[in-house]
Amino acid sequence: MAKEGTPSIYDFSLDELKETLKPSFRAKQIYNWLYKQYASSYDEMKNIPKDLKEELEEKYPIDVMSILKKEVSTDGSIKYLFKLRDNLTVEAVLLLMKEKKKNEEGVIVRSEKYTVCVSSQVGCKVGCTFCLTAKGGFVRNLTVGEYIAQIVNIKRDNDIPANKSVNIVYMGMGEPLDNFKNFTRAVNVFSEEEGLSINKRRQTVSTSGVASKIEKLGEFDLGIQLAISLHAVDDDLRSELIPMNKAYNIQTIIDAVRKFPVDTRKKVMFEYLVIKGKNDSIEAAAKLIKLLNGINAKVNLIFFNPYPGTDYERPEVADMIRFKDYLNDRGLICTIRESKGIDISAACGQLKEKDANGLT
């Protein structure tokens, strides 16, 4: 069984693969098979010599994960539970953001738009009290190859053409910035033109607020988008929801965000999980405006998605709208995220938890 750090063919950038393989032109051929043809085995690679395929199969496996379960929502969202080579499991979600549109003559005038939410770790160290992923604790980081394979498996499973790009959000299981080295390398591999060709501007990292690593990420200047899981406007509540807030409080996070290089055409996203009776008041909205003053920000309100055993409740729609309107009326752009997959195991970690408990 593969362990953390075991190399996979998906771990390599094209230049790294050229340095590894001789003759180097084989690297581009293999890249084509992996990312344009979605080859799931070396046997499918018809123009690769048999002895090289056997060597690659032994050293750099392709099958780093397999689809264990999936749930399909009526809104087109699909939640995947992947089984890794060491029998651990992680989740990823395909979100259908816009459906294909045809005119009266049946000609396609707009193609589908997809976003894929990928995981970064098996488990999580952060311990958010509203998140099921925290129940199992932290097990290990995902490798670069395991990041990449989530997208490849989903595109293959849904027959999404190779030339059809998707958006990536690093906001599945785990804290991406706690897997800093592999996460940043995955960003670069995803963006390879000869590979999946997912522009860095189409990649967004969501962090629970590891302030020191937000600054470090800013120094890398990768060109990706930043989202902050804020969820509260005072430290007492945020420390209840996200215990890590005791190490990196709200002001520390805001200071780090102010230093982060942001594309002038983009905004820093602040995710605000709304929980009934906890953070849905107009007083909280007023504090949020003051907190984000001077930041090119956008607030995304998210309905809390209840799961069995939680003490938190989903907010009222009217309260969400009131909160949103209060921010927008005062110049802070705010939207309510459309709930996706509400009829399936939508909460992060929920499908994994169901599988662990033998539920269907």
Task: Tell me, letter by letter, the H, E, C secondary structure of the chain.
Answer: CCCCCCCCHHHCCHHHHHHHCCCCHHHHHHHHHHHCCCCCCHHHCCCCCHHHHHHHHHHCCCCCEEEEEEEECCCCCEEEEEEECCCCEEEEEEEEEECCEECCCCCEEECCEEEEECCCEEECCCCCCCCHHHHHCEEEECCHHHHHHHHHHHHHHCCCCCCCCCEEEECCCCCHHHHHHHHHHHHHHHCCCCCCCCCHHHEEEEECCCHHHHHHHHHHCCCCEEEEECCCCCHHHHHHHCHHHHCCCHHHHHHHHHHCCCCCCCCEEEEEEECCCCCCCHHHHHHHHHHCCCCCEEEEEEECCCCCCCCCCCCCHHHHHHHHHHHHHCCCEEEECCCCCCCCCCCCCHHHHHHHCCCC
> In this predicted model, what pLDDT tens digit does every residue of 312-328 receive, in sequence order?
999 999 999 999 999 99
- CATH code of the domain in which 44 resides: 1.10.150.530
Please give the pLDDT value at position 352. Answer: 52
Please give the pLDDT value at position 7. Answer: 85
Whether residue 179 is found in the same domain as residue 260: yes
Ligand-binding annotation for 117, yes or no, is no
Whether residue 68 is found in the same domain as residue 95: yes
- CATH code of the domain in which 208 resides: 3.20.20.70
Residues (pLDDT < 70) of the chain are: 1-6, 109, 339-360
Please give the pLDDT value at position 342. Answer: 58
Whether residue 180 is found in the same domain as residue 325: yes
Ligand-binding annotation for 229, yes or no, is yes
Ligand-binding annotation for 131, yes or no, is yes
Please give the pLDDT value at position 266. Answer: 84
Whether residue 233 is found in the same domain as residue 265: yes
Please identify which of the residues 117, 271, 334, 348 carries the catalytic annotation. Answer: 348
Please give the pLDDT value at position 341. Answer: 58
Q: Which of 22, 48, 63 is the last residue of a domain?
A: 63
Give me the domain span that covers residue 55: 1-63
Whether residue 246 is found in the same domain as residue 331: yes
Q: How many residues does the chain have?
A: 360
> In this predicted model, what pLDDT tens digit does every residue of 264-282 receive, in sequence order?
778 999 999 999 999 999 9
Ligand-binding annotation for 124, yes or no, is yes
Active site residue 58: no
Cβ contacts of 289 within 8 Å, gap of 6 or more:
327, 330, 332
Residue 171 amino acid letter: M
Whether residue 137 is found in the same domain as residue 242: yes
Ligand-binding annotation for 13, yes or no, is no
Q: Which of 63, 80, 100 is the last residue of a domain?
A: 63
Active site residue 192: no
Q: Which of 63, 82, 110 is the last residue of a domain?
A: 63
Q: Which residue has the tokens 């662990």?
A: 356
- For 66: left if phi > 0, alpha if psi spans -120 to 50, otherwise beta; the answer is beta
In angstroms, the CA 310 to CA 213 distance is: 30
Whether residue 348 is found in the same domain as residue 216: yes
Please identify which of the residues 91, 146, 271, 353 carries the catalytic annotation. Answer: 91
Please give the pLDDT value at position 358. Answer: 56
Residue 133 amino acid letter: T
Q: What is the mean pLDDT of the chain?
A: 91
Report the number of distinct structural domains present in the chain: 2
Whether residue 157 is found in the same domain as residue 292: yes
Whether residue 95 is found in the same domain as residue 167: yes
